[in-house]
Amino acid sequence: MSKVEEATAVTAVTTRRNFLRSVVGMASVAAVATPLARKTATPASGSRNTIQSTPAQQVTAVDGPQDPLERMRADLARALQKPEAERRWVMVIDLRKCVGCTACTISCVAENHLPPGVVYRPVLEEEIGTFPNVAKRFLPRPCMQCDNPPCVDVCPVGATWKRSDGIIEIDYDQCIGCRYCITACPYNARTFDRGFVYNDESYVDNSVTFVGVADAEAYEMAAPYEYGEERPRKDGRSPIGNARKCHFCLHRLEKGMLPACTTTCIGRATYFGDASDPDSLVADLIASPNVMRLKEALGTEPKVYYLQ
């Protein structure tokens, strides 16, 4: 059974369950199930057996109406069947759900083997009030993948551009490392890879014995798969000396996987998908009245939306 079929099967079961719940008066659950009801058009017979045979999916089915990850994976699989130019990748971050754990930041570092000084998705913290009456607000900040990206036109050698699916890409082999694009980004979303490594002497505290240092070093030096290219980190070769930024884990998307930050978000606060698909979860979410984007007045038209 293909991924799409599996996801549809999950949807079918959980939707039936929600229907029963709504019958007994659980109005709130019914509200969540409403957008999912669209997917019941293709119920797969024997789907219950499929779920029971895979423990991981069983957990998600029990957990709630439907894990948004499952729906997003189905959305992603559908989007990948369309031509690139017809996809419109967007990210939605629900600030009410973000607990500031920074799992997304770290998973991004791990996924892309980011060195010290390079970060694609920091989580900004804002403290409101004075002690002891303090509240905290968190704001994860990936690259906004602007529809009108100020970083693209300034590149003197055309090493960065907007793809037809809206993701802003950097060609590490063309980039000369002038950092003009870094200055042009209104969100500080681009960083400069100066060639540091975490396992360098200056970072490792020799007075403490760490378990697994050798493995960590091997992992750090192993090539990440950004833009689907293998680039071992050595001899000052690119991406050392380049501008770097979040690319919505393009290399994962192309393999049918959600961005690392989305799958690792413990609060399910990060959503990802193809906004040009009216049946996608993100298409529903960006139609919410409580949606906002950063620095809207600049006209950069970010493709990262926040719910608040």
Partner 1 sequence: MNNNNSWKRILWLLSGVGFLIGLYGLYARLTLGHTDANYGSYIPWGLWVAGYVYLIGLSAGAFLLSTLVYVFRVKILEPIGRLALFTAVTTLVGAMVLIFLDLGHPERAWRLALHTNFRSIMGWMIWLYTGYFILLLVELWFASRVDLVACAGNPGFSGRLCRFLSFGSQDVSPERAAKDRHTLRILGTIGVPLAIAFHGGVGALFGVIGAREYWHSGLSPIFFLVGALLSGGALLTFVTAIWGPDVKSEKGQKLVLLLGQITLGLLAFDVLLEWAEYSIGLWNAVPGKTNGLLLTLKGPYWWVFWFVHLGLGVIVPGLLLALRGRSISAITTAGALIAVTFLSVRLNFVIPALAEPELEGLRTAFTGPGLTFSYFPSVSEWMLFIWAISVAALIFLAGTQLLPLTPKEA
| Interacting residues toward partner 1 by CB under 8 A | 105, 116-119, 122-126, 139, 141, 150, 153-159, 174-180, 182-188, 190-196, 236, 238, 240-243, 294, 298
Beta strand pairing status for 160-162 and 168-170? Answer: antiparallel
Residue 118 CB, nearest distance to partner 1 (Å)?
A: 7
Q: What angle do CA 95, 61, 282 make, to 5 degrees?
A: 35
Residue 235 CB, nearest distance to partner 1 (Å)?
A: 10
By the 8 A CB rule, do 162 and 201 touch?
A: no
20 vs 176, beta carbon nearer partner 1: 176
Residue 290 CB, nearest distance to partner 1 (Å)?
A: 20
Phi/psi at 143 (nearest 5 deg)? Answer: -70, 140
The dihedral sign for the CA sequence 71, 229, 102, 289: negative
| Contact residues for 204 (Cβ-Cβ < 8 A; gap 6+) | 198, 210, 213
Residue 160 CB, nearest distance to partner 1 (Å)?
A: 10
By the 8 A CB rule, do 224 and 240 touch?
A: no
Name residue 99's amino acid.
V
92 vs 159, beta carbon nearer partner 1: 159
195 vs 267, beta carbon nearer partner 1: 195
According to DSSP, residue 39 is labeled G
228 vs 299, beta carbon nearer partner 1: 299
183 vs 288, beta carbon nearer partner 1: 183
144 vs 282, beta carbon nearer partner 1: 144
Cα separation of 231 and 237, whole Å? 8
Q: Which two tokens stand for residue 258?
A: 């959600």
Residue 6 CB, nearest distance to partner 1 (Å)?
A: 36
Residue 307 CB, nearest distance to partner 1 (Å)?
A: 18
